[in-house]
Chains A and B, each alone.
Chain A
């Protein structure tokens, strides 16, 4: 069973830049893991942000970008806004089955 690991929490200042990462217990994350990223605000359902590593949905703000970085999937927020405070979940396809990470709580302070 693949384990997907994210930072439990991160803090960023408004207007700053922050990178969240998503690692796999099986080794380096590649595009073949089709990384997905989701945003979840308190009391709300998750919302898809990024699919297949770096592709944005039509509603994804331009300040969000996805990439591969140092063997992990990464979500970078540039010019962070107060409304970006949320939980961020990554997902990897490993062995054909989707596996979520534990989520990163992003605080904008």
Chain B
């Protein structure tokens, strides 16, 4: 059974930084393309970015609103993908979901999410 467990969320002041982690099990992680999606309270889903598997370069893509502030990385030895968020803004307040693309699409399996609250 594929499982994705996010961690690292919490309450942060504006301007602060946070690193979210997502640890996967039940899949061949090194082959998975990993995506982050967020959902602000009571709002729809927003694609944040994606990191491809190392065998196709491990490259990253980001949504325009987060480019330059968000960085996605992966450690295949730990089956973990990270989302580094810098210069946090109140509008970054959201549940952040980690998603594994297992070959069918980029969005095959979703984690349960971790809440990030940006407030002073």
Q: Contact residues of A with B, CB < 8 Å?
A: 1, 34, 36, 38, 45-48, 51-52, 55, 57, 89, 91, 96-103
Contact = CB atoms under 8 A, between A and B. Distances in A.
22 contacts: A34-B105, A36-B105, A36-B107, A38-B107, A46-B37, A46-B97, A46-B110, A48-B107, A48-B109, A48-B110, A51-B107, A51-B108, A57-B104, A89-B45, A97-B47, A97-B61, A97-B63, A100-B44, A100-B45, A100-B46, A102-B44, A103-B44
Contact of B44 (A47, A51, A98, A101): A101
A57 B61 contact: no
B56 interface: no
Chain A residues touching B, majority SS: strand
Interface of B: 37, 44-47, 61, 63-64, 97, 104-113
A92 to B, nearest CB: 11
Contacts of B106: 98
A47 B110 contact: yes
Given A1-B64, A55-B104, A98 B47 contact: yes
Contacts, number: 51
Determine which residue in B104, B107, B109 has the highest number of CB atoms from chain A within 10 A of its CB, and name it: B107
B108 A57 contact: yes
B47 A45 contact: no
Contacts of B97: 45-46
B79 to A, nearest CB: 19
Chain B residues touching A, majority SS: loop
Contacts of A55: 104
A89 B110 contact: no
Contacts of B108: 48, 51, 57
B51 to A, nearest CB: 14
A104 to B, nearest CB: 10
Contacts of A99: 47
Determine which residue in B46, B47, B105, B113 has the highest number of CB atoms from chain A within 10 A of its CB, and name it: B105
Nearest to B104: A51
